[in-house]
Chains A and B, each alone.
Chain A
Amino acid sequence: METNATTTGSAKLPAVKLALRAGGGLVKLLLIVYAVLTLYPLYWLFISAFKTNQDFFNRPYGLPHAWMKENIVRAWELGNMGRAMFNSAFVTVAAVLLTIVLGVLAAYALSRFDFRFKKAIVALFLAGLLIPIHSTLVPLFIMMRKLHLLDTYGALILPYTAFELPIAIFLAMAYMASIPREIEEAAMIDGSGWWRIFGSLILPLCKPIVATIAILGFLRFWNDFSFALVFINTQSLKTLPLSLSLFSDGFGTDYALTMGAMAIAVIPTIVIYLLMQEQIMKGMVAGSVKG
């Protein structure tokens, strides 16, 4: 619509031009309204996090009477948020690293070598993209109970990595297809082995796609609720989303406190989003299209 205004406007009467411009302004206004509607729940979360419960009930949409920083402190202490944040950070970092190492290595083997069953293996990983994770919760629970993996960090790190591998492998394979083979052939002549070629040549060249894989993994693992809900029971191992859901049960009527806990939980993702939004948007789109 706006392009019409610029391309055909010159041939039209000034009044028409003005009307088109006004239309463009209206469109902009509506877009702003939509953006505000999208952001409002978050804004509301943050103002509510700094209210007293009374203030919250009396003026749910106004700014806080007095900014109650204590809410955040109390939520942090009562909800054991420090521990939960450490748990989330630990499993996320471990699973992201494992996904990158295993995924990029496997992608390299699958994209550069020919061997028996290669097509079958690629097809198997491809099928992994289509498996709904919730359908594996019950069998994984039973299996991990037998392996005594329940209620350990491994109960999250291993399934997170396993379910992220297909996306990581396909993103990395697609990226490696654009790296010319001549680079490796030259290194081969120099007498380098495959491990050396991978470590000192291929991996550094794959940096952009490794960043994408890391972002996708970070968001998925940090925000995961289903696996943590089913596989983790011990208080000291609970991740942020899990603690948060239980916190809201336990302190159900202390709304200000629950809001404080939620504010703590979303700040890391929002900060990372604000810092790297272009990469996150592109990465999530690449991940979802392949998925």
Chain B
Amino acid sequence: MAPAVRSRGFIALALLPALLLFLVFVIVPIFWSAYYGLFDWKGLGSAKFIGLGNYEEILQDEIFWRALKNNLILVASSIAGQIPIALLLALLLLRNTLFSRFIRSAVFMPMVLSTVVVGLIWGYIYHPQFGLANAVLEWLGLESWTRAWLSDPKVNMLAVSIPINWSNVGPYLIIFIAALQNISSEIDDAAKIDGAVGWRKLISVTLPMIWGTVVVSLVLCISGSLKAFDHVIVMTGGGPAQSTELLATYMYNNTFDVYRYGYGSAVSTMIIVISALLIGLQYALTGRKKEG
């Protein structure tokens, strides 16, 4: 091997630019927001140290709890929507025929669209006057079901979750197909000899074989649902009357609409804490599955 000194110089030059950029733009901001969260600060002028005042206010603000609840609604709807749909489609589209390749690429397509475009198109679909959603309901004779989907607080979180599900089935479909195709043909044969076919085979052979992948997908689903900021900003902006507020839009609106930088920073830190808790929970769950 080369003289150690030459290697050391190479390592430093190869690694440092990436490490520096990553530290400055990803890691350092986390500590900054924790620090700014302790101040009452309008962005300009002097900042007043208020200790944990911002955090106390956050925990007492019912909008914060609503935002957290809305985030959890998105998580639940993603787990109830994307995973079962993707799994069902994967079982049906397992073989690499031209037909199933075509359906797969159609299902994956929304994934490459800008979230702004997805939000705008669905905003039109939900439009109270000319929207597709109401038109379809009228055509089905369900006039009483028509409504302003994005402004009715009873249904608007559900309405917001549909486009998010619509655009995210694709990757899970591909993940599940890869996992299903990995099941060896010997296991298939063994199942056949034991007389396991149809539903019984699915439940007692196929699902256990890909269970690890299902768990990974659940984890992805949870972290993916925390990223729904764009759709909500474009479709509702968190409104009306903050009924579709998510943690991220709550942070955004507090910081850039009413210029409470200190408070926004504290909310940012809360988002990190909550994601860390969720990730910890995920690891606890996946860890147990591996043992079992």
B partners with A: yes
Within 8 A of B (CB), among A227-261: 229-230, 240-242, 244-245, 248, 255, 258
What chain A residues lie within 8 Å of B226 (beta carbons)? 132
Complex-state Cα separation, A195 to B23, whole angstroms = 24
In the complex with contacts A135-B275, A194-B6, A240-B114, A142-B32 CB distance below 8 A: yes
Give the residues in chain A near B247, CB-CB below 8 Å: 134
The verdict on A109 contacting B109 (CB below 8 Å), with A45-B121, A194-B6 known, is: no
CB <8 Å contact, A31 and B115:
no
Determine whether the beta carbon of A280 is less than 8 Å from that of B112.
yes
Q: Tell me if A200 is interfacial: C-beta within 8 Å of chain B.
A: no
Q: Which residue of A lies closest to B224 (CB)?
A: A288
**A33-41, A75-83, A205-213 - interface stretch:** A33-41
Q: What's the Cα separation between A225 and B104 when bound, in Å? A: 27
Contact A139 B22 (CB under 8 A): no
Enumerate chain B residues within 8 angstroms of A242, measured Cβ to Cβ: 116
Q: How far is the CA of A44 from the CA of B216 in the complex (A)?
A: 34
Q: Is the CB of A262 within 8 A of B171?
A: no
A291 vs B219: C-alpha distance in the bound complex, in angstroms? Answer: 10
- Interface majority SS (helix, strand, loop, mixed), chain A: helix
Of the listed stretches B62-70, B144-152, B260-268, chain A binds: B260-268
Interface string of B112-152 (1 = CB under 8 A from A): 11111101111111000010100100000000000000000
Interface size of A as a range: 35 or more
Chain B residues lying within 8 Å of A143, measured Cβ to Cβ, are: 28-29, 32
If A110-B15, A139-B29, A262-B120 touch, whether A34 touches B21 (CB-CB below 8 Å) is: no
Known: A108-B14, A121-B19, A223-B114. A131 touches B25 (CB 8 A): no
How far in angstroms is the closest Cβ of chain A from B11?
A: 5
Per-position binary interface string of chain B over residues 210-229, scored 1 when its CB falls under 8 Å from any chain A CB and 0 otherwise: 00000010001001001101
Closest CB in chain B relative to A177 CB, distance in Å: 17
Chain B residue at minimum C-beta to C-beta distance from A195 = B10
The answer on a CB contact under 8 Å between B36 and A139 is yes
Q: Which residue of A lies closest to B249 (CB)?
A: A134
- Minimum C-beta distance from A95 to chain B (A): 11
In the complex, A69→B26 CA distance in Å?
A: 44
- Segment with Cβ contacts to A, from B49-57, B74-82, B250-258, B284-292: B250-258
Add 10 more A-B contacts to A38-B110, A136-B30, A245-B119 (CB < 8 A): A102-B17, A102-B21, A109-B15, A134-B227, A134-B248, A138-B33, A139-B28, A142-B265, A169-B18, A266-B117
10 closest cross-chain pairs (CB), A and B: A162-B25, A139-B29, A106-B18, A134-B248, A35-B106, A139-B32, A194-B10, A109-B14, A223-B114, A139-B33
- 15 interchain pairs (CB within 8 A)? A38-B109, A102-B21, A105-B14, A105-B17, A106-B14, A106-B15, A109-B10, A142-B32, A159-B25, A194-B7, A223-B112, A229-B233, A230-B256, A245-B116, A281-B108
